[in-house]
Chain A
């Protein structure tokens, strides 16, 4: 079994924390993993993405081929659309519904949402509001991971929860709990 995931968003939104949690869970589960990240210039408010490949078999390429991505997990709706050519026809988009507008030519929001909704499998949510309501305004990325969790399949929701506990343990019990709560909110939301 293998799962190819693209994590994307705008530099500074925290996609690498999501990657770290999935990486921890995959390592703990004994899966093979490759995770290509973007460092450097793009991190300054530009588009960023990470190709994350999980498999029970050996993985060669660090990059996912076009039409090969099982799940696009995006912190920003337009950024989710950027990777359409990489999405498998049977793939799912899990995205924040709230645009991050830091460019003058950001597309028309209604048209953008309509295009997203026209995709075969999309889950979208205002993750920032959900995180805020859960009392963890900085936990939007964990809400998003929770939403995506049921689609990652090669890892269980419980394995991802454990990885969150491990990754955030250094920051104390309160931070772990807050992130788990955000994650659970995301899991609940994707069931609706």
Chain B
């Protein structure tokens, strides 16, 4: 049966049908819809497949590894930068190996549609020395989940499934297969204690598997050579790069389609030998372009993102690939003259707006203040009309950067962080600040949800005062306010008092996200109708 599915949904359904027992994830564009699909899927609910959101990507990765240890199939999902958060567990999971199938899904965001960088997760696969799957379309995304679980269990390795925004958020018809059984509980009897003496041996084991991984790539149904007649140029088309090549040249090119890694040196060398030059079309960073240079010899002409034949940054498009193939651009209109950018903005009525209004008003009295921001809807406070932030770097960095700047003597040093980001990566930094009695003011702007990604549950809801007190913030310096225009005098007074306090203060402006509030009101109305 065919179903119209987003790339993300295809992966979710592929996982359920492949006998998934648990998905572990923290929301992050463009990966969020995978977990959401599983949370609302009927079969997943009936089977009791674990799908509750995790506090961050590291807790997700470790829980999934635990499920794998117990013998069941687990999926971890995250956006690309989440790989940085879970890297410790991820890299070491390659050393321990797995028991039940383990897939780590990383959704990369070339062009940074909703991100801070465009790091390519295939580097992580290479770094951890594990197989990587990279679907070219929604059907492959569906099919690959079962293949990856199978490979994972057969070779006792985690498998990285790498997608990009354009696949994650694009819909196409997918032929859906039968529902398979879950694994039964069967805890590992292998050695998973990575003491140095054991880890050294396991690392050698992992290196020994590399030839098997290469062989798996050579025989993979997702990798193939397409001959388009005697061509001088060979095209290596990775992941969705394949689509842009086919869009432009159809069957009239020699294409080595790559959707499973590691690359086989044998295959690459043979392809190079049959052609005079190679064009590498890959979405993200030049991973393959760099790798094959070491296989085909320094003098062999390779074209790609490093040579400027394709743009060094940004996602691939049919147009940039056409240009790299030397095809002329078709007729098109110029850019319009009467056009202005329309950046995203905080919703009208959003509590974060009131927080920034108050902050800006209070801080105007101090000549040298800085506000360190964090990741979420409230990062939009950096844009007009508020222009309230000096930094936004990574999850949790607001508190720790404010602390470091305060250590250096900056005053006032203010951090603003959302509720979900605080539990994701802010708590440990707050403990550092408390232990150092740093002179910082932390604003936890609590809208009771993970707003930017569409209103998922937030791990710390109803626990923030207790968390702050538990970490050692003094009770009289944990203050809660309701961010509404009518409360502005009270909010500004409290902000001022806490900025003036020489130590760690936490102010929690708390009001539900207006998007989730509207959704909850609709749900309640529906309930009363019944």
- Residues in chain A within 8 A of chain B (CB atoms): 10-11, 23-24, 27, 32-47, 59-68, 78-79, 81-82, 84-87, 89, 102-108, 111-112, 115, 119
Q: Assuming the A-B contacts A11-B344, A84-B336, A108-B338, are A41 and B113 also in contact, with contact meaning beta carbons closer than 8 angstroms in the complex?
A: yes
A sample of 12 cross-chain residue pairs with beta-carbon separation below 8 angstroms, ordered by A number, consists of A34-B172, A36-B170, A44-B344, A44-B346, A44-B380, A60-B243, A63-B244, A66-B332, A68-B330, A85-B332, A111-B338, A115-B337
Contact across chains for A89 and B243 when beta carbons are under 8 A apart: no
Name which residue of chain B comes closest to A65, CB basis.
B318
Contact across chains for B338 and A84 when beta carbons are under 8 A apart: no
Chain A residues, CB < 8 A from B331: 67, 89
Q: Assuming the A-B contacts A33-B172, A42-B113, are A63 and B317 also in contact, with contact meaning beta carbons closer than 8 angstroms in the complex?
A: yes
Name which residue of chain B comes closest to A69, CB basis.
B332
A163 CB, min distance to chain B CBs, angstroms: 12
Residue B233 at the A interface, CB < 8 A? no
Residue of B166, B347, B384 touching A36 (CB-CB under 8 A): B166
Q: Assuming the A-B contacts A40-B453, A41-B114, A41-B344, are A67 and B329 also in contact, with contact meaning beta carbons closer than 8 angstroms in the complex?
A: yes
Contact across chains for B29 and A23 when beta carbons are under 8 A apart: no
Name which residue of chain B comes closest to A41, CB basis.
B114
Q: A59-B172, A89-B331 are in contact. List 18 more A-B contacts (CB 8 A).
A: A33-B172, A34-B171, A37-B6, A37-B169, A39-B169, A40-B29, A40-B452, A42-B344, A61-B246, A61-B247, A62-B240, A62-B243, A63-B166, A64-B318, A78-B338, A82-B339, A84-B334, A89-B332
Contact across chains for B345 and A102 when beta carbons are under 8 A apart: yes
B488 CB, min distance to chain A CBs, angstroms: 23
Chain A-chain B contacts (Cβ-Cβ < 8 Å), number: 151
Q: Assuming the A-B contacts A67-B331, A81-B339, A115-B338, are A46 and B319 also in contact, with contact meaning beta carbons closer than 8 angstroms in the complex?
A: no
Residue B342 at the A interface, CB < 8 A? yes
In whole angstroms, how far apart are the Cα atoms of A84 and B170 in the complex?
A: 22
Q: Assuming the A-B contacts A44-B346, A60-B243, A84-B334, are A66 and B329 also in contact, with contact meaning beta carbons closer than 8 angstroms in the complex?
A: yes
In whole angstroms, how far apart are the Cα atoms of A115 and B338 in the complex?
A: 7
Name which residue of chain A comes closest to B245, CB basis.
A60
Q: How large is the interface on B (under 10, 10 to 19, 20 to 34, 35 or more residues)?
A: 35 or more
Residue B173 at the A interface, CB < 8 A? yes
Residue B30 at the A interface, CB < 8 A? yes
Contact across chains for B340 and A46 when beta carbons are under 8 A apart: no
Majority secondary structure, B binding face: loop
Chain A residues, CB < 8 A from B384: 104
0/1 per residue, B306-338, Cβ < 8 Å to A?
Answer: 000000000001110010000001111111111
Name which residue of chain B comes closest to A100, CB basis.
B342
**Max chain B Cβ within 10 angstroms of own Cβ: one of A41, A47, A66, A105:** A41
0/1 per residue, B204-240, Cβ < 8 Å to A?
Answer: 0000000000000000000000000000000000001
Contact across chains for A65 and B319 when beta carbons are under 8 A apart: yes
Chain B residues, CB < 8 A from A11: 344
In whole angstroms, how far apart are the Cα atoms of A35 and B7 in the complex?
A: 10
Residue B33 at the A interface, CB < 8 A? yes
Contact across chains for A10 and B244 when beta carbons are under 8 A apart: no
Residue B293 at the A interface, CB < 8 A? no
Chain B residues, CB < 8 A from A46: 342-345
Chain A residues, CB < 8 A from B240: 62
Residue of B2, B32, B247 touching A60 (CB-CB under 8 A): B247
Contact across chains for B335 and A84 when beta carbons are under 8 A apart: yes
Chain B residues, CB < 8 A from A32: 172-173
Name which residue of chain A comes closest to B330, CB basis.
A67
Residue of A66, A86, A105 touching B340 (CB-CB under 8 A): A105
In whole angstroms, how far apart are the Cα atoms of A118 and B114 in the complex?
A: 35
Give residues of chain B (413-462) contacting chain A, Cβ–Cβ below 8 Å.
452-454
Give residues of chain B (149-195) contacting chain A, Cβ–Cβ below 8 Å.
166-167, 169-173
Residue of A62, A85, A108, A112 touching B170 (CB-CB under 8 A): A62
Name which residue of chain B comes closest to A39, CB basis.
B169
A110 CB, min distance to chain B CBs, angstroms: 10
Chain B residues, CB < 8 A from A104: 384
Chain A residues, CB < 8 A from B377: 44
B259 CB, min distance to chain A CBs, angstroms: 14
Q: Assuming the A-B contacts A41-B113, A65-B247, A66-B332, are A78 and B172 also in contact, with contact meaning beta carbons closer than 8 angstroms in the complex?
A: no
B336 CB, min distance to chain A CBs, angstroms: 4
- Please provide the 9 A-B residue pairs with the shortest distance between their CB atoms, ordered closest to farther: A67-B332, A40-B29, A46-B344, A40-B114, A81-B336, A107-B338, A61-B247, A44-B344, A36-B170
Contact across chains for B347 and A45 when beta carbons are under 8 A apart: yes
Contact across chains for B452 and A27 when beta carbons are under 8 A apart: no
In whole angstroms, how far apart are the Cα atoms of A78 and B339 in the complex?
A: 6
Give residues of chain B (122-150) contacting chain A, Cβ–Cβ below 8 Å.
none
**Max chain B Cβ within 10 angstroms of own Cβ: one of A10, A43, A65:** A65
